[in-house]
Structure 1
Amino acid sequence: MRRSLAALATAALAVTAGLVASAGASPAVAAATPPNIVFVLVDDLAWNLVQHMPNVQRLQTDGTTFTNYTVTDSLCCPSRSSIFTGKFPHDTGVFTNGGSDGGFAVFRNRGNESKTFATALQAQGYSTAFMGKYLNGYLPRDLYTPPGWTEWYGAGDAYGEYNYNLNENGTLVHYGNTDADYLTDVVGAKGKSFIQRQAAANKPFLLEISTFAPHGPFTPARQDLDKFPGLTAPHTPAWNTLPANAPTWLAGNGPLTTAEITKINTDYRKRAQAVQAVDRMIAGLRQQLTASGVANNTYVVFSSDNGFHMGDHRLVEGKQTAYDHDVVVPLVIAGPNVPSGISRPQVVQNIDLAPTFQRLGGAPVAGDVNGRSLVTLLTGGQTAPWRTGSLIEHHGPGVSADDPDVQDARNGMPTTYEALRTEIYTYIEYDNGEHEYYDRTTDPYQLNNTYAGLSASRKTTLHSELDALVNCHTNAGCWTAGHVS
């Protein structure tokens, strides 16, 4: 007989309390009822879309929001690779969406697939399911299922949300152009079915639903096509404005044209429409958790693989920069023993998700994982010690014609860079010798590059601290390197 909700909550609390330990320590013995994890990962969602997502806002009310959560690279494949493994791009080998330094093939050939949070939790007895977008270059027609997944519903080039194929546990299934074929709705329904089945079997589970929305071409469900009439893109102080002392890759961008502004406004409205299905899906998944009697023993996690700029810094539509609109994205977690309605300012990254999921499930975390479990922050809160610096690594410019994220100078095509971001500043080193430094306490929108005015000793310190993070390869080493001045 299934346990009562009160019993489930008690068991989950015991698990969480036992897991308040550093990522390098031995995992606690799992309780009789290990907690479940539902992870919703969206594509290219910037913070400015959350205002149009009432169910994500409800999740924030019920849980904890991390306000300084950054990705290791504002690009789909490298960011997702970091999420799966808990490693920086310099350790996954995935810096781009394809070619010799990125994409699904590089991720797989470097052995990353055997060392993910899915393989770790499956080894702990979890049922695991993946639904939606995997990594750039993955082809459903190959009927390949990565290790670690009990159930697999993987898509390839399904950005249009209709007329796509899914590899459904080794069978290729085609979806057409009817309302019922809309991809976000399809994976949402499959996710609810998975929850229902695993709860009925009294089996702990991990579910990741990875949507293509709101990635371009920004395709809403048909029922949402009339939403938000007249909506336009938000204008921050960075809108249509170059930073002082801009780097070469950006300095040539002139003011946005009337046509560009019109397109930005149209596409922002389409993005707001596209996330309505995601928002409904989150509500449906949470309703299913309640109906199945496992809501009090389940962590629900919402995040994005990267942000997205639309007119900021005189860039039209894109990502890949080290500016906050691209690298700082939502991370919201609700679940057993997680404080409700709380914001945490600590510097956390997507490399922290894998060790967090593994800790919650009682799985060990390997010493070569770069990230750190967030369980101490979820339960210990403001007093928990934490790193002070995050690392962003990017290879560019990317020009592959078949890359869904290909950009030109107008979208933003930065050269290769590494960046260090703390709560108060952003420091960027480009491979052509250029630098940017923004004091975000006085310049939150990154409009005044003051690197030239820094002292020689400060420049040396910044370089050394960034270099230490770029060259860290272990949990302990990256934790130490992440404590910067």
Structure 2
Amino acid sequence: MTRHRRLRLRPAGAPVLILLTLVLALAAGCSGGGDARPGAAKAAPAKRPNIVFVLTDDLSWNLVAHMPQVRDMQARGLTFDGFFVADSLCCTSRSTILTGRYPHNTGVRTNFPPDGGYQVFKAHGGEQASFGEGLRKAGYRTAFLGKYLNGYQPGDAQGGPSPYVPPGWDEWYVTGNGYPEYDYNMNENGRLVRYGHAPQDYLTDVLSGKADDFVRRAGATGRPFFMEVATFAPHGPFVPAPRHAAALPGVRAPRPPAFNEPDVGDKPSWLRSHPRLRKPGLKAIDNGFRDRARMVQAVDEMIARLRRTLAERGLDRDTYLVFGSDNGFHMGEHRLAGGKMTAFDTDIRVPYVVVGPGVAAGRRTGALVQNTDLAPTFLDLAGAAVPPATDGRSLVPFLRGADPADWRNVALVEHVKPRPTPEDPDRQDSAPGAPPTYNALRLRDALYVEYQNGEREYYDLVRDPHQLTNQGGRLPPDRQRQLSALLYALTHCSGAGCASAGRTR
């Protein structure tokens, strides 16, 4: 029998508290009825804000078209068009998000030991360095829901009397293998709960209910709160909620110019080995993309539910809602059937959208920002100290409408090819034909890649935005030496040195 704990939602909260919140917000100019025109600035928050962070798994930019709530967030907030991950792989990206450090400083280079995974993150002090600890010490009530790090086992007590809850988190609702969306165990504040295969056990919906419950309870206390909801959607095996199983019948994978690329003769050797996709492969790609689009419907509904609750409680005026992804995902581009880990924009460029107090409606920025910047942003919003070892920078100036003149003009991407591991659901990317170990620079107008085997890629993104023509073998020697030196500096940087290195060309 499935053990399924029903959520107990508390009453709507004290009317006096809500009225006081409204009065404070109006006095500070934070009313939700402000100017919603693109570029219209709002006033800064009157107190330490709440933060809700929705992190999806493998969600690529081409799925946002199927998420009306996220598109509405874009209309009412700030979109980071130039957001890049430091490695397009789940555990490495999430470790960077939690600490604000590049993979070469977290020690997490792949999803599983010996080069990465949860145990490596923990052994390198990642849990103590995470922003959760900083926020909690600053007086925030914190909650983490959903997917933590690859290799985490929700029932592992780690020497204690009950399942382990990492430091920094007041509330913890986390599972390990939630990819099928059913039949999983969840660590609920140190208590292991089993979920089965009933419709109500669909993981994204369970997380939605628990997230809504936390917001209601935490919001009623008047104490600032932070909540991360990390879905497994839309990661494979691409299982949509039952109510969405037949949705979007006509949707198929987009066909940008790079789709099933006709000529890969100029590409590095790992990619030149890929034949053109045929009808069975193209059909599988379309079916997979359709199910991914179906999966994100439940995520979009969760966002809608959270936004309604925040508005009903008067909390939206003091709450930042951040939506994003741990990495992108290719489906057919450059002849690649489905996956991530490459240095192409399909994999490293991801959606990030923020709404909240002080954020202008309809604003977009093309500044090069990275997942290293999330931890310092959350700490900065909370008025907490940002550790000196943090490689990223706070994005708060962008939320206030500024474009810092000293911002980085290059993003670092570093990737270690995973070793084949039976436990890894992404182990197909360790097989022959996947990209070897590489480091890359993503500039505003170019992409430069150095592979461990000595091969190089260079794409002029002004003339070739879809990264079709590799000019790595035709770079002027001076330019190549300059890029290689910059890449070396960034892959060996730490703390403030990363910001300095990222401002050079």
TM range (shorter): over 0.9
CA separation of 1:10 and 1:334: change in aligned 2, threshold 3 A: farther
Task: Output the amino acid matched with 1:355.
Answer: P
How many residue pairs match? The answer is: 468
Counterpart of 1:264 in structure 2 is 285
Alpha-carbon separation, structure 1, partners of 2:46 and 2:401: 23
Once the two structures are superposed, the pairs formed by residues 46-445 of structure 1 within 5 Å of their partners are 46-142=60-156, 143-241=163-261, 242-382=263-403, 384-408=405-429, 413-445=434-466
Amino acid at match of 1:226: A
Range with greater deviation from structure 2 (204-213 or 283-292): 283-292
Q: Could you give the per-residue CA deviations for residues 437-460 of structure 1, whole angstroms, max 9, x where no partner exists?
A: 001111111011101111111110
TM-score, with structure 1 as normaliser: 0.94
| SS of 1:61 mapped into structure 2 | helix
Cα distance change of structure 1 residues 254 and 480 upon mapping to structure 2, 3 Å threshold? same
Shift of 1:381: 2.6
CA distance in 1, matches of 2:484, 2:267: 19
Distance 2:174 2:416 in 1: 27
How big is each residue's C-alpha offset from its partner over 1:298-325, in whole Å with a ceiling of 9 and x where there is no partner?
A: 0000000000000100000100000000
> What secondary structure does 2:379 align onto?
helix
- The 3 A distance-change label for structure 1 pair 306 and 163 is same
| Residue 5, structure 1, aligned to residue 10, structure 2 | no
CA–CA distance in 1 between the matches of 2:396 and 2:381? Answer: 8
1:397 to partner: Cα distance: 4.3
* Aligned CA-pair RMSD: 1.6
Q: Distance in 1 between matches of 2:420 and 2:241?
A: 30
The 3-state SS of whatever aligns with 2:402 is helix
What is the distance in 2 between the residues matched to 1:146 and 1:11? Answer: 36
Shift of 1:95: 0.7
Q: How does 1:469-484 map to 2 (within 5 A)?
A: 469-474=490-495, 476-484=496-504
CA positional deviation for 1:11: 5.6
Query: Residue type of the partner of 1:207?
Result: M
Q: Is the 8 A contact 2:328 2:346 kept in 1?
A: yes
State the Cα deviation string for residues 223-251 of structure 1 (Å, max 9, x = none). Answer: 00110112110001000114451111111
- 2:96–2:102 CA contact under 8 A, matched in 1: yes
Quick check: 1:438–1:449 contact (8 Å CA) kept in 2?
yes
Alpha-carbon shift at residue 407 of structure 1 (Å): 2.3
- Give the Cα separation in 1 of the matches to 2:231 and 2:354: 18
Q: From the superposition, tell whether residues 384 and 292 of structure 1 become closer, same or farther in structure 2 (CA, over 3 Å).
A: farther
Using the TM superposition, give the Cα deviation of residue 116 of structure 1 relative to its aligned residue in structure 2, in angstroms.
1.0
Displacement of 1:94: 0.4
Tell me the alpha carbon deviations over residues 36-62 of structure 1, each in whole angstroms, 9 at most, x when there is no partner: 000000000000000000001011111
Which amino acid letter does the alignment assign opposite residue 503 of structure 2?
Answer: H
Give, in angstroms, the shift of residue 385 of structure 1.
3.3
Using the TM superposition, give the Cα deviation of residue 176 of structure 1 relative to its aligned residue in structure 2, in angstroms: 1.0
How far apart are the structure 2 equivalents of 1:279 and 1:334? Answer: 15
Equivalent residue letter for 1:395 = V
Kept after mapping to 1: 8 A contact 2:360/2:401: no
Measured in 2, the distance between the counterparts of 1:273 and 1:411 equals 31
For 1:128, the aligned partner's letter is T
Contact 1:159–1:215 under 8 Å retained in 2: yes
Extract unaligned runs of 5+ from structure 2: 1-15, 31-43, 157-162
Contact kept, 8 Å, 1:376 with 1:384, in 2: the verdict is: no
SS of residue paired to 2:322 = strand
Distance between the aligned counterparts of 1:367 and 1:410, measured in 2? 38
Taking the aligned partners of 1:334 and 1:406, their CA distance within structure 2 comes to 36
**Contact preservation (8 Å) 2:417, 2:430:** no
Describe the shift of the 1:206–1:260 C-alpha distance in structure 2 as closer, same or farther (beyond 3 A).
same
- Cα drift, residue 409 of structure 1: 7.9
Q: SS of 1:366's equivalent? A: coil
1:49-94 C-alpha deviation (Å, 9 max, x unpaired): 0000000101111110000100010000000000000000000000
Tell me, in whole angstroms, the C-alpha distance in 2 between the residues paired with 1:433 and 1:358. 40
**Cα 1:412/1:317, change in 2 over 3 Å:** farther
Q: Residues 105, 361 of structure 1: CA spacing in aligned structure 2 closer, same or farther, 3 A cutoff?
A: same
Percent identical residues? 50
Q: 2:472: which partner in 1?
A: 451
Residues 383, 167 of structure 1: alpha-carbon distance in 2 compared, 3 angstrom cutoff: closer
Q: Secondary structure at the match of 2:490?
A: helix
Tell me, in whole angstroms, the C-alpha distance in 1 between the residues paired with 2:131 and 2:370. Answer: 15
Residue 39 (structure 2) aligns with: none
State the shift of 1:383 in Å.
5.3
SS at match of 1:309: coil
Counterpart amino acid of residue 246 in structure 1: K
CA distance in 1, matches of 2:119, 2:91: 11
State the alpha-carbon separation in 2 of the partners of residues 226 and 57 from structure 1.
22
Could you list the per-position Cα deviations for residues 339-369 of structure 1 after superposition, in whole angstroms to 9, with x for gaps in the alignment? 1111100000000000000000000001110
Instruction: Pick closer, same or farther for the CA change 1:388–1:101 going to 2, 3 Å.
Output: same
Distance 1:349 1:9 in 2: 34
> 2:24–2:46: 8 Å Cα contact kept in structure 1?
no
| CA distance 1:412–1:189, shift in 2 (3 Å) | farther
Structure 1 residue ranges (4+ consecutive) displaced by more than 4 angstroms after TM superposition: 9-13, 408-412
TM-score (norm 2): 0.90
1:12·1:35 contact (CA, 8 Å) conserved in 2? no
Task: Confirm whether residue 39 of structure 1 aligns to residue 66 of structure 2.
Answer: no
What do residues 7-58 of structure 1 show as CA deviations (whole Å, max 9, x unaligned)?
A: 1365697xxxxxxxxxxxxxxxx99731000000000000000000000101
Shift in alpha-carbon separation, 1:9–1:390, aligned structure 2, 3 A: farther
**Kept in 1: contact 2:266–2:469 (CA 8 A):** yes
Aligned with 1:373: secondary structure? coil
- Amino acid in structure 1 at the alignment position of 2:252: T
- CA distance in structure 1 between the partners assigned to 2:503 and 2:328 by the alignment: 25
